[in-house]
């Protein structure tokens, strides 16, 4: 069947009338007034969520624009795709599984912005009319509403770069990272949704591998694509298999396996190509087995001058002795206090170079154990005046490190 079919949807949505209109446009490569047109096809997939059994979102409109105009409330120049109401459980879309969203005829050109509009949560949810956007904590049966500021009016702004060509289909995927998109608001019991979504081409490429099933439920597998987007997934908890799908061609991906109470494992120089299709790192008989590591924590506040940067993210990474950067953990700050707290392994990372047809051979890297680069990012802020280098304390300790950003 091939990778394209393997990663197709869990359930197709009905688009009969729109599909007929689109088919007519694609057939002639233009609209009724002679303007050349193509088609944008959209689907959604998900990176892993942390500590949740379900994360539901209900997307009812998607808007696209050829500019990066800041004002998403005005409709001049925007093209809109309306979506039949259906709750999507993002956690059913890991390891390359897709949920089709639909197709939209568009004028030929380069598109640089996409807006995601969500349905509103009902005031009095019932079984027949449940929360549109909600999560379920691991081990719980109760749905907690997700607060989605601006999601119903102007929508969430996503950066996109894709071309629509005459008579052709631009096949794109919204890679929704639920783990990085949900932010707990202190002890209030509220959760905010600030979507972290990469708009990527639907390619017939992937990296596949296996981790030890004994640790599969507690690790995240990730890499960074050539545009520096983090691509992540969680292994199957029974088999340990993971898939990082729809990756652009590159000869030197670094695949990272990271989790609590475990040393970080990195596989370097992993090639991805359309000709190869799927790059297989290892087999179920030779799984990746991260060793046990003691942990220590870092915590603090992200700010600029006296202002708290409540939309900031904090990431902890290490640099291997061979030069590759390895992201070990990341989180959004508290949306009220701008506080963060990350638990990180004290043991040095282990690494293995990818060699086609050969087993992975891990060795301990010669980096300084427990040393991290801690960086904060926030919209409109481009530099960090705080030295990012952090040396963790002893096992179980917490190092306080405030991060100061500047425009």
User: DSSP readout, 370-390?
Assistant: TEEEEEEEBTTB-EE-S--EE
Q: Scanning the structure block, which residue is given the tokens 């599909």?
A: 19
Taking the alpha carbons at both ends of the chain, their separation in whole angstroms is 50
What kind of fold does domain 250-406 have according to CATH? Immunoglobulin-like (2.60.40)
Tell me: pLDDT of 23 over 50.
no
CA distance 338 to 300: 8
Q: Give the pLDDT band (50/70/90) at residue 4.
A: very low
Mean local confidence (pLDDT), 147-160:
75
CA distance 326 to 349: 9
Q: Are 243 and 95 in contact (CB under 8 A)?
A: yes
Other CB atoms within a 10 A radius of the CB of residue 271 amount to 14
Q: How far is CA 105 from CA 25, 29, 35, 257, 331, in A?
A: 7, 10, 11, 40, 37
pLDDT at 11: 31
Q: Are 248 and 226 in contact (CB under 8 A)?
A: yes
pLDDT at 215: 95
Spell 322-347 as b/e; 16+ CB within 10 A means b.
eebebbbbbbbbbbbebbbebbbbbb
To which H or E segment does residue 200 belong? strand 197-201
Structure pTM? 0.80
Tell me: pLDDT of 197 over 50.
yes
What are 389's two structure tokens? 């280098």
Where in the chain do CATH 2.60.40 domains reside?
Answer: 250-406
Q: Are 60 and 117 in contact (CB under 8 A)?
A: yes
Which phi and psi (to 5°) does residue 18 adopt? Answer: -65, -40
Q: Give the pLDDT band (50/70/90) at residue 138.
A: confident
Tell me: pLDDT of 6 over 50.
no
Mean local confidence (pLDDT), 133-153:
84
Q: Are strands 250-259 and 265-272 parallel, antiparallel or unpaired?
A: antiparallel
Tell me: pLDDT of 94 over 90.
no
CA distance 303 to 301: 6
Mean local confidence (pLDDT), 17-32:
35
CA distance 144 to 135: 5
Q: Are 181 and 195 in contact (CB under 8 A)?
A: yes
Q: Scanning the structure block, which residue is given the tokens 């233009």?
A: 30
172 DSSP β-pair partners: 42, 201
CB within 8 A of 16, min separation 6: which ones?
Answer: none
Tell me: pLDDT of 317 over 60.
yes
Least confident of 6-20, 81-95, 139-153, 272-286: 6-20
Tell me: pLDDT of 341 over 70.
yes
- Find the length of the chain: 407
Helix, coil or strand: residue 5: helix
Other CB atoms within a 10 A radius of the CB of residue 216 amount to 23
Q: Are 233 and 244 in contact (CB under 8 A)?
A: yes
Which phi and psi (to 5°) does residue 248 adopt? Answer: -65, 155
CA distance 220 to 279: 18
CA distance 333 to 331: 6
Mean local confidence (pLDDT), 204-210:
96
Q: Are 281 and 274 in contact (CB under 8 A)?
A: no
Tell me: pLDDT of 67 over 60.
yes
Tell me: pLDDT of 26 over 80.
no
What are 160's two structure tokens? 């996109």
What are 250's two structure tokens? 């590159």
């Amino acid at each position: 069947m091939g990778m394209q079919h393997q990663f197709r949807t869990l359930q197709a949505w009905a688009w009969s009338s729109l599909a007929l209109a689109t088919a007519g446009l694609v057939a002639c490569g233009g609209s009724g007034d002679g303007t050349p047109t193509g088609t944008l096809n959209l689907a959604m997939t998900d990176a892993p969520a942390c500590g949740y059994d379900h994360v539901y979102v209900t997307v009812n409109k998607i808007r696209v624009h050829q500019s990066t105009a800041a004002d998403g409330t005005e409709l001049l120049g925007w093209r809109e795709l309306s979506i039949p109401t259906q709750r999507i459980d993002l956690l059913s879309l890991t390891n390359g599984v897709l949920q089709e969203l639909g197709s939209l005829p568009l004028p030929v050109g380069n598109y640089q912005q996409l807006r995601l509009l969500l349905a509103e949560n009902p005031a009095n949810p019932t079984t027949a009319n449940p929360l549109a956007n909600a999560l379920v904590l691991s081990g719980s049966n109760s749905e907690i509403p997700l607060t989605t500021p601006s999601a119903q009016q102007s929508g969430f702004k996503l950066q996109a770069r894709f071309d629509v060509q005459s008579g052709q289909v631009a096949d794109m995927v919204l890679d929704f990272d639920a783990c990085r998109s949900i932010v707990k608001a202190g002890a209030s019991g509220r959760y905010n949704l600030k979507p972290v979504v990469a708009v990527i081409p639907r390619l017939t490429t992937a990296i596949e591998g296996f981790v030890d099933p004994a640790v599969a439920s507690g690790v995240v597998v990730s890499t960074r694509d050539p545009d520096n987007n983090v691509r992540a997934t969680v292994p199957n908890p029974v088999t340990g298999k993971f898939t990082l799908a729809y990756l652009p061609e590159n000869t030197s991906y670094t695949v990272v396996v990271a989790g609590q109470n475990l040393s970080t494992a990195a596989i370097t120089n992993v090639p991805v190509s359309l000709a190869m299709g799927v790059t297989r790192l290892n087999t179920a008989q030779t799984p990746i087995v991260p060793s046990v590591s003691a942990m220590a924590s870092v915590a603090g506040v992200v700010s600029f001058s006296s202002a708290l940067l409540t939309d900031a993210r904090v990431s902890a990474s290490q640099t291997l002795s061979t030069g590759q950067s390895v992201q070990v953990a990341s989180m959004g700050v508290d949306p009220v206090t701008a506080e963060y707290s990350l638990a990180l392994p004290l043991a040095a990372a282990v690494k293995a170079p990818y060699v086609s047809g050969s087993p992975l051979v891990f060795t301990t890297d010669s980096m300084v154990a427990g040393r991290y680069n801690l960086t904060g990012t926030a919209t409109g802020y481009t530099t960090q005046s705080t030295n990012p280098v952090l040396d963790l304390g002893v096992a179980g300790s917490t190092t306080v490190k405030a991060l100061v950003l500047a425009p």
